[in-house]
A = this chain, B = another copy of it.
Amino acid sequence: MANGLLDGLVVLDLTRVLAGPFAGMLLADMGATVYKVEMPNVGDDSRAMGPFVNKQSVYFANFNRGKIGITLNLKAPEGKEIFKELVKKADVLIENYRPGTMEKLGLGYDVLKEVNPKLVYGAVSGFGHTGPYSKRPGYDIVGQAMGGLMSTSGWPGGAPTRTGTPMGDVLGGLNLAVGVLAAVVKAKSSGMGEKVDISLVDSVVSSMQNINMIYLTTGRIPERIGNRYESTYPYDSFKTKTTDVIIGAGNDKLYGLLCDLMERPDLKVDPRFVHVVDRVANHAAMKEEIEKWTINYTMDEVATMLDQHGIPGCPINTIDRLVADPHICGDRNMFPYCEHPEMGHLRMTNSALRFTNHPTDPTVPAPLLGQHNKDIYEGILGMTEEKIAELQAKGII
């Protein structure tokens, strides 16, 4: 990865499945040297998760592109010693085991900081490394439910609703990347490492910022209100001949433009809709009036008219539409390709990180299990071929 922003940063990535690997992926996309350390013969659980191409997991391939694959048995005493040698050469370690697992292996932060005082140790877990629930298993859906997101997503009278993507894991991975990079900034100047402790539940609670503030300030418990917002209207989804469309005419000027476009000057002076507060209070009636217009067109027809008249709005994209979009897929290159040795021409989902002078588009495929063992154990740790063969035979690598 030439000219990467994080060139020279060495990361040991012990993570599995999503939240942790997502953070490692962001660092690899930015040019860090990320060693994906997996259990010999087994590997990351997500190697068994679909979809598959030529029996290889696309799930794994996507979150682990650009990483260097080595195997190492951290339960074997010899494996632990080899791991400490790797820690000496690393800037960052990330893991998403259940809290206490690394300590049980004798490889907790307290041990590893003695091995390398500059090490930034990043952990992401369901509930974090402290507190009464810390030992509970944490999954994405638990983060979304415990963190308040599900209770506030969905429709009045309907069920609490999770997001279509594992958002708890994504938020946890992003927070881990923020924490690790902040600690790297410090370590580079102070020579002292740090332990970063990210929880999926905290990450979701933190995403609820102003929603929490409504309760903390007014005592009102925020409920499910569908697609509208509490502070302005019309700012919602509206029925069309096809899929619903988004209109975000959040102030008086934009509302005026919308009334003009709908050829409904009467709505500008209708006492129910004159000011933002009126439109919020009478949102149901407002929606009915707007849908009298939107229902005559398709989603794309409405979105095009809004765009032509300078009114914020957009289609609700399904995934096939993202992939066909000239801006998202074209200019912003959200679905780049790499050539995978077993999967061939593989399309991935990009990160959102873009820099003027440093490329981040992934081009190197995810490793096969232990693919780079020889490179690392010989090239970096200086082992002989015989030693490597012996470790392999003993199941240590």
The residues of A with any CB-CB pair to B shorter than 8 Å are: 5-6, 8-9, 18, 22, 26, 30, 49-53, 58-59, 62-63, 109, 127-128, 130-134, 136-137, 139, 141-142, 145-155, 158-167, 170-172, 174-175, 177-179, 181-186, 188-189, 192, 194-199, 201-203, 205-218, 221-222, 224-227, 229, 231, 235, 237, 243-244, 246, 248, 250, 307, 312-323, 326-328, 330-332, 334-335, 347-358
List 7 contacting pairs A-B, 8 Å CB cutoff, sorted by A: A18-B210, A131-B331, A141-B248, A145-B315, A150-B237, A154-B161, A215-B320
Contact call A53/B217, Cβ cutoff below 8 A: yes
Question: CA A354 – CA B123 in complex, angstroms?
Answer: 10
Separation in Å of the A225 CB from the closest CB of chain B? Answer: 8
Question: CA A203 – CA B226 in complex, angstroms?
Answer: 22
Name the CB-closest residue of B to A354: B197
Contact call B202/A332, Cβ cutoff below 8 A: yes
Contact call A6/B182, Cβ cutoff below 8 A: yes
Contact call A150/B208, Cβ cutoff below 8 A: no
Contact call B161/A355, Cβ cutoff below 8 A: no
Separation in Å of the A65 CB from the closest CB of chain B? Answer: 11
Contact call B356/A162, Cβ cutoff below 8 A: no
Contact call A164/B6, Cβ cutoff below 8 A: no
- Contacting residues, chain B, for A323 (C-beta < 8 A): 212, 215-216
Contact call A354/B198, Cβ cutoff below 8 A: yes
Separation in Å of the A224 CB from the closest CB of chain B? Answer: 7
Question: CA A141 – CA B248 in complex, angstroms?
Answer: 8
Contact call A356/B141, Cβ cutoff below 8 A: no
Name the CB-closest residue of B to A231: B49
Contact call A354/B202, Cβ cutoff below 8 A: yes
Contact call A328/B201, Cβ cutoff below 8 A: yes
Question: CA A153 – CA B152 in complex, angstroms?
Answer: 13
- Contacting residues, chain B, for A177 (C-beta < 8 A): 178
Given contacts A131-B330, A235-B141, A353-B178, contact A209 B165 (CB under 8 A): yes
Question: CA A222 – CA B320 in complex, angstroms?
Answer: 9
Question: CA A393 – CA B59 in complex, angstroms?
Answer: 60
Contact call A153/B163, Cβ cutoff below 8 A: yes
Contact call B62/A210, Cβ cutoff below 8 A: yes
Given contacts A185-B9, A185-B184, A352-B205, contact A210 B59 (CB under 8 A): yes
Name the CB-closest residue of B to A170: B207
Contact call B132/A317, Cβ cutoff below 8 A: no
Given contacts A182-B6, A210-B62, A353-B179, contact A317 B197 (CB under 8 A): no
Given contacts A141-B248, A151-B317, A317-B151, contact A158 B160 (CB under 8 A): no
Contact call A354/B196, Cβ cutoff below 8 A: yes
Neighbour of A149 across the interface among B49, B149, B164, B175, CB < 8 A: B164
Contact call A195/B355, Cβ cutoff below 8 A: yes
- Which of A26, A250, A354 has the largest count of B CB atoms less than 10 A from its CB? A354
User: In the complex, given contacts A151-B164, A154-B161, A171-B174, what are 10 additional A-B residue pairs having Cβ atoms less than 8 angstroms apart?
Assistant: A8-B189, A58-B216, A133-B327, A150-B237, A160-B244, A174-B178, A212-B322, A212-B323, A212-B349, A221-B318
Question: CA A194 – CA B235 in complex, angstroms?
Answer: 35
- Which of A150, A153, A210, A351 has the largest count of B CB atoms less than 10 A from its CB? A210
Neighbour of A356 across the interface among B63, B194, B348, B353, CB < 8 A: B194
Question: CA A186 – CA B5 in complex, angstroms?
Answer: 6
Question: CA A195 – CA B353 in complex, angstroms?
Answer: 11
Question: CA A130 – CA B171 in complex, angstroms?
Answer: 25
Question: CA A185 – CA B290 in complex, angstroms?
Answer: 50
Question: CA A358 – CA B179 in complex, angstroms?
Answer: 11
- Which of A163, A177, A188 has the largest count of B CB atoms less than 10 A from its CB? A163
- Contacting residues, chain B, for A5 (C-beta < 8 A): 182-183, 185-186, 194
